[in-house]
């Protein structure tokens, strides 16, 4: 106990002596001044690594690396979109007849399936980034922390050396001179050893700049592969979606090319043309001002919308609504013909039709016979249907004038 007490007393005296010696020291020498330019570069390199590492960790939606794939998937921002796409597709499928499936349901299903694959690929990419990139960045950060601790030890040793030097200079006791000198020499060796190790670590860190750039390259390659897979998956479903949209029979008919409408609906006569003519045949031939008097605007818009929504058929209440409104039916038919992207008598033959209209009746008939074969078959057939209908109206000219 006596020896322990004496040891504690010696250490206490030593600490007090060091404190007294350190008071009033001039500004301590910066032992790393010669490599300050290297330090500045290293600081910027490590800062970039830390920033990238932090942002990558924020992008990877997981609590820990051992988390199950399903749980990781639920944390992704696209997870809600993926689930909702499939849910909405199912809801639409349930309300549409099996023989007339919803094109939107098919599109949502294709998109949802693609998103499911993309989510799986995202998780795989995140796991590879954790192993190949984040671990490498973490090693750089740990090395920087170790270097910072070594610098702290160096700073403390510099103070110890300075204190020891002051003690040596202020010592007048010959009996302690050798002990103080030995202590000073030991601290100097320790200081030089710390400096050598720190200089080595500083140079090594700078020499790893290309290696760190390689880590970024690995990150870019991983993300490139992910985005390539996602792009390919989405591109693969576009032709199928295009095919379904192009072949969908229930597309709007107003503003649709005649041939596209006939192909999708598997018809030879345009639906609007046939229905409007049929309604007018039923009761419209007794109406004064047919095709001259305009119909009611709101009723015209309603019937056009019903046609576009494919809510017109033989049993449709919409047809019954317009049996006694032939003027609105005529207006809808005129709108349909007016809104055809390619006129029924075609852009290409427009000038020929104008010339024919200006000629005398004898020449006109022969010219029309020569011109009709030049028309597309669909246009020619629908024009014939319309002219035949107009011929019927002429039989009731005394009522419709």
Q: Domains of the chain (ranges plus CATH)?
A: 32-246 (1.20.1270.60), 258-400 (1.10.555.10)
- Cβ(396)–Cβ(285) below 8 Å: yes
Neighbours of 274 (CB within 10 A): 15
What is the reported pLDDT for 39? 83
CA–CA separation, 295 and 279 (whole Å): 14
- CA-to-CA distance for 21 and 11, rounded, in angstroms? 15
pLDDT of residue 289: 84
Task: Supply the pLDDT for residue 18.
Answer: 52
- Within 10 angstroms of residue 115's Cβ, the number of other Cβ atoms is 22
Identify the pLDDT of residue 171: 74
Structure tokens that stand for 144 in this block? 């920087």
Residues 6 or more apart from 290 whose CB is under 8 A from it?
280, 284, 326, 327, 330, 393, 400
CA distance 303 to 334: 13
Interatomic CA distance for residues 179 and 32, integer angstroms: 29
Q: Is the pTM of this model over 0.85?
A: no
pLDDT score for 337: 96
- Specify the DSSP class assigned to residue 130: I
Residue ranges in 208-313 assigned as alpha helix (H): 209-247, 258-265, 271-283, 297-308
CA–CA distance, 130 with 63 (Å, rounded to integer): 12
| Neighbouring residues of 235: CB distance < 8 A, sequence distance ≥ 6 | none
* Dihedral angle of Cα 202, 34, 36, 189, to the nearest 10 degrees: 50
Q: List the chain pLDDT tens, one digit each, 401 residues.
A: 555 665 565 555 555 555 554 444 444 456 778 788 888 998 999 999 999 999 999 888 776 777 888 888 888 889 999 999 999 999 999 998 887 789 999 999 999 999 999 999 999 999 999 999 999 999 999 998 998 898 888 888 888 888 888 888 887 777 777 887 888 888 888 888 888 888 888 898 899 999 999 999 999 999 999 999 999 999 999 999 999 998 888 889 999 999 999 998 889 999 999 999 998 888 767 788 888 899 999 999 999 999 999 888 766 666 777 778 899 999 999 999 999 999 999 999 999 999 998 888 888 888 998 999 999 999 999 999 999 999 998 888 877 77
Q: What secondary structure letter does DSSP report for 343?
A: -
User: Burial code of 81-109, b = ≥16 C-beta within 10 A, e = fewer?
Assistant: ebeebbeebeebeeeeeeeeebbebbbbb
Compute the distance between CA of residue 221 and CA of residue 234 in angstroms, rounded to an integer. Answer: 20
pLDDT at position 127 is 92
What 3-state DSSP class applies to 1? coil
Rounded Cα distance, 101 and 183, in Å: 92
- 363/202 Cα distance (integer angstroms): 100
- C-alpha 218, offset from chain centre: 22
């Amino acid at each position: 106990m006596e020896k322990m007490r004496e040891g504690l007393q010696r250490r206490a005296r030593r600490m007090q002596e060091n404190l007294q010696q350190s008071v009033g020291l001039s500004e301590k020498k910066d032992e790393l001044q010669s490599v300050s330019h290297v330090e500045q570069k290293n600081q910027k390199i490590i800062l970039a690594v830390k920033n990238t590492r932090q942002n990558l960790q924020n992008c990877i939606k997981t609590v820990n690396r051992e988390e199950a794939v399903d749980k990781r998937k639920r944390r992704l921002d696209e997870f809600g979109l993926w689930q909702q796409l499939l849910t909405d597709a199912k809801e639409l499928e349930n309300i549409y007849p099996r023989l007339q499936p919803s094109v939107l349901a098919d599109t949502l299903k294709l998109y949802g399936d693609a998103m499911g694959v993309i989510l799986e690929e995202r998780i795989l990419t995140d796991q590879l980034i954790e192993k190949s990139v984040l671990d490498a960045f973490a090693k750089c950060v740990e090395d920087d922390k170790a270097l910072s601790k070594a610098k702290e030890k160096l700073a403390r040793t510099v103070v110890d050396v300075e204190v020891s030097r002051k003690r040596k200079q202020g010592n007048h006791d010959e009996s302690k001179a050798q002990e103080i000198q030995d202590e000073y020499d030991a601290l100097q060796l320790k200081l030089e050893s710390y400096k050598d190790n720190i200089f080595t670590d500083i140079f090594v860190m700078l020499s790893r700049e290309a290696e760190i750039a390689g880590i970024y390259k690995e990150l870019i390659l991983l993300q490139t592969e992910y985005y390539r897979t996602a792009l390919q998956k989405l591109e693969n479903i576009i032709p199928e979606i295009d095919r379904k949209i192009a072949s969908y029979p229930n597309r709007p008919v107003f503003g649709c090319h005649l041939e596209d409408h006939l192909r999708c609906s598997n018809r030879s006569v345009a639906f609007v043309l046939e229905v409007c003519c049929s309604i007018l045949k039923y009761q419209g031939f007794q109406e004064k001002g047919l095709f001259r008097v305009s119909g009611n605007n709101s009723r015209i818009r309603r019937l056009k919308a019903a046609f576009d929504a494919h809510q017109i058929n033989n049993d449709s209440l919409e047809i019954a609504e317009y049996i006694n409104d032939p003027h609105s039916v005529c207006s809808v038919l005129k709108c349909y013909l007016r809104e055809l992207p390619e006129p029924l008598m075609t852009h290409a033959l427009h000038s020929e039709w104008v010339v024919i209209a200006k000629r005398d009746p004898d020449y006109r008939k022969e010219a029309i016979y020569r011109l009709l074969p030049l028309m597309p078959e669909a246009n020619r057939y629908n024009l014939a249907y319309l002219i035949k209908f107009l011929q019927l109206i002429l039989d009731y000219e005394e009522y419709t004038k």
